[in-house]
Amino acid sequence: MTEKSSITLTINGRDHAIKVEARRTLADAIREDCGQTGTHIGCEHGVCGACTVIVDGEPVRSCLMFAAQAAGKQIRTVEGLAKGDTLHPMQQAFMDHHGLQCGFCTPGFLMLAVGVLEREPDISDDDLIDVLSSNLCRCTGYQNIIKAVRAAAKEMRK
């Protein structure tokens, strides 16, 4: 169980050569082995979505994926969204619409929404709510998150 193998995780375009046990989750590897603690762990059973990252263009629950499965793939986390001091339109929209309070679920929502909108920029409002209902937030009551994502969708289509 405790034997480790060498893998390389590519996070936000940067390679991290790490040694992990086969059972190590991608979430733990990103946080502990690669030091990117913006990805949060809320339930470790794939329900809350706080750990959502984008792997090869798809939003995934990084608590349900083994680190070894992500080797060689392009991983994007919340740390990679902003360009220098300029926030990604999704981050800016969350700020403008008060789409976060404690901020713990926020990175997961950002990556979920960015991942989906990049793939499906013209997603319908109703489908968008379906997508957003796959993550949990305990502070905002969701409506400001929905407003923020709709506003960012407009911005991202420009």
Partner 1 sequence: MPEKQKFIGRSVPRLEDRPLLTGQGRFAADVSFPGQWHMRVVRSPVAHGNIISVDAAAALALPGVHAVWTYKDVAHIPRIGFRLTRIEGLTPYQQPVLADGVVRYVGEPVAVVFADDPYLAEDAADLVALDIAPLALAVTEPGVVRKAYGDIEAAFRDAHAVVKVELAVGRHSGVPMETRGAVARYDEARDVLEMHGAAKVPHWNRDQIAKMLGRDINSVQLYEGHVGGGFGIRGELYPEDVLVCAAALKFKRPIKWIEDRREHLISANHSRDQVHRVRAAIDAQGRILGIDDEFFHDNGAYMRTHAATVPDLAAAMLPGPYRVPAYRAAGHIRLTHKTPAGTYRAPGRYESTFVRERLMDAIAAKVGIDTVEVRRRNLIGKSAMPYNLGLETLGTHIVYDSGDYALLLDKALQAAGWHKLQAELKMRRAKGEKVGGGVGMFVEKSGLGPFDTVRIDVKRDGRVEVVTGVASIGQGVETVIAQICADTLGVDYQDINVVHGQTDRIAKGMGAFASRVTVMCGEATRLAAVKLREKALQAAAPLMQTNAGALDIVGGEIVRSGGGPSMTLAALAQQVSEGLSAEDTFEAAHMVYPYGVHVAAVKIDAETGGVTIERYVIAYDIGKAVNPKLVEGQIAGGLAQGIGGALFEEFAYDESGEPLSVTFADYLMPTAREVPDISVLISEDAPSPLNPLGLKGAGEGGANPVGAVIASAIDDALQRPGAVTRLPVTPQRLKALMAGR
Answer yes or no: are the C-beta atoms of 100 and 139 closer than 8 Å: yes
Q: Residue 19 Cβ, how far from partner 1 at the closest point, in Å?
A: 12
From 43, 57, 119, 157, residue interacting with partner 1 (rule: CB under 8 A): 43
Residue 83 interacts with partner 1 (CB under 8 A)?
Answer: no
From 60, 75, 105, 153, residue interacting with partner 1 (rule: CB under 8 A): 105
Residue 81 interacts with partner 1 (CB under 8 A)?
Answer: yes
Q: Residue 133 Cβ, how far from partner 1 at the closest point, in Å?
A: 4
Residue 10 interacts with partner 1 (CB under 8 A)?
Answer: no
Which residues does residue 5 pair with via DSSP β-bridges, in sequence order?
20
d(CA 15, CA 10): 4
Residue 136 interacts with partner 1 (CB under 8 A)?
Answer: yes
From 31, 61, 65, 71, residue interacting with partner 1 (rule: CB under 8 A): 31
DSSP 3-state assignment of 66?
Answer: strand
The phi-psi region of residue 56 (left if phi > 0; otherwise alpha if psi is between -120 and 50; otherwise beta) is left
From 10, 16, 44, 69, residue interacting with partner 1 (rule: CB under 8 A): 44
Residue 17, judged by CB atoms within 10 A of its CB (0-12, 13-18, 19+), counts as exposed
d(CA 132, CA 134): 5
Q: Of 74, 113, 75, give the one whose Cα is nearest residue 92.
A: 113
Interacting residue ranges for partner 1, rule: CB under 8 A:
1-2, 21, 23-24, 31, 36-45, 47-48, 50, 77-79, 81-82, 87, 91, 94-96, 98, 100-107, 110, 129-130, 132-146
